[in-house]
Amino acid sequence: MQVRYRWVVAALLFFAGMLNYLDRAALSIVAPIVKTELHINDAQLGILFSSFFIGYCVFCFIGGWAADKYGPRKVFALAAGFWSVFCGATAFAGSFATLMVARVAFGVAEGPMGTTTNKAISNWFPRSEAGRAVGLTNAGQPLGAAIAAPIVGLVAYQFGWRISFVVIAVLGFAWIGVWWRCFRDHPQDHPAVSPQEVAEIVADGHTNVAADGGAEVKSEGVMRYLLSLPVLGVAVAFFAFNYVLYFFLSWLPSYFTDYQHLDIKHMSVVGVLPWLGATAGFVLGGMLSDGLYKKTGDVLFARKTVIMLGLGIAAVCVLLVSRVSSLVPAVTLIAIASLFAFMTPQACWSLLQDIVPSERIGATGGFVHLLANLAGILSPSITGFLIQYGAGYSSAFVMASALGCIGMIVLAVCVRPAKVSRLRGAPV
């Protein structure tokens, strides 16, 4: 039986996500060492974590627009090249200021990643496989964060923290070579894709179809979609997930070393567990979302159910972490929270594909990603200030839990079949 080439594309995107989050998590893993060497306090460290998202948020939108205009092949290759350069440049930082410059530039380069991935999936996968495709490809992201703990932590322990950033940069350039050789913007442009597979993708593609499965409808100008309640509802739910994500990504290593009193060697092992849960959440969320869609025939119900279930259970677990002090229950609750929280982003991306026509998905996805990643600016900084000047880690967990609940409620109110049908210009 011939292997469908679109799953090769999924593998390329999987490894891109893995490298992307390996890059991002590296600083948080070595943060206890960097704080001492560069004389940085917790509040400054929070600002450093947040500075990544200053450029990142803007280029989420620019990257999505560019993917619509120039195609994901060129945009992804260029972005990966720049983020590898600036990841490597982190190794040469000698102060808080130079490290911040490197982080801002690094964020600019990584900005197009999420929306370009979604554009590639929209081009290459039929609608009935969108949840699985997004879930499986994005599963590389928490897996990258998981392997960052032992790889970066142990390399830093043996050879110094700077060497780890150079190694990651080299891996990025290796991926670019494979991507450029193996990927094309559309399946019909690739010689390895059979006419049967092209027909299968096109027959169930993300075309301009009404939310109720009705006739083809005409796409409007992009601003109509950007400012609509369904799109903004998805953005708020995505923001809530990202707040929890960037809290974990930035501060879990410091939580384990400062609050649970682990050294960097043991933290590198324990720190893997939440991200393994997150990896499982990505895959299970995509499968559950597509399974509900096939069972009910209601794509909005399927995507929304997964998002609300994920955010709700994650919010409860994160709240409970604020009430425990020993290591085992804390790690268990964080791992469960990660599993359920990470069921939501692929459902958000898939839901967006079912709200917005395919020719607007890059720009609209970029706008949603921009709004959602404002959490990347707020979450690390707010957490740093709560730890430094407030009630410590407990209040930071409570804040993350509250935002998860808010995201769930807003999604339920804003994303409804009647609103989506009106947005798509279809009969209600």
> What is the predicted pLDDT for the residue at 213?
41
What percent of the chain shows pLDDT beyond 70?
Answer: 93
CA distance 163 to 65: 35
Is the pLDDT at 316 greater than 60? The verdict is yes
pLDDT in tens, 230-255: 899 999 999 999 999 889 888 888 88
User: Is the model's pLDDT at 379 over the cut of 80?
Assistant: yes
Question: What residue ranges define each of the domains in the chain, with the CATH number in brackets?
Answer: 6-187+194-423 (1.20.1250.20)
Instruction: Specify the higher pLDDT residue, 193 or 406.
Output: 406
pLDDT, mean of residues 337-350: 88
Instruction: Please say whether the beta carbons of 169 and 182 come within 8 A.
Output: no
- Please state the pTM of the whole predicted model: 0.70
* CA R_g for the chain: 21
Closest CA to 352 of 126, 125, 185, 119: 119
- Residue 119: pLDDT over 50: yes
Q: How confident is the model at residue 208 (pLDDT cuts 50, 70, 90)?
A: very low
Which one has a higher pLDDT value, 123 or 131?
Answer: 123
Q: What is the pLDDT of residues 40-96, one digit of tens each?
A: 887 788 888 888 888 788 787 788 788 888 999 999 999 999 999 998 888 898 888
Three-state SS at 392: coil
- The pLDDT assigned to 220 comes to 63
* Interval 18-39 mean pLDDT: 84
pLDDT at 215: 40
**Is-contact 24 249, C-beta < 8 A?**
yes
Which of 179-183, 388-392, 416-420 reaches the highest mean pLDDT?
A: 179-183
Average pLDDT for 5-19: 90
Q: Please state, in angstroms and rounded to a whole number, the distance separating the CA atoms of residues 311 and 316.
A: 9
Asked if pLDDT for residue 18 goes beyond 70, the answer is yes
Handedness of CA 127, 132, 135, 136 (dihedral sign): negative
Whether residue 207 has pLDDT greater than 60:
no
pLDDT band at 416 (very low <50, low <70, confident <90, very high): confident
Q: Tell me how far apart the alpha carbons of residues 397 and 206 are, in angstroms, rounded to a whole number.
A: 38
Highest mean predicted confidence (pLDDT) among 35-39, 240-244, 254-258: 240-244
| Res 177: pLDDT | 94
In Å, what is the CA distance from 125 to each residue of 198, 223, 301, 376, 415? 10, 26, 20, 29, 23
Instruction: For residue 151, give Cα distances in angstroms to 65, 215, 264, 349.
Output: 35, 51, 12, 30
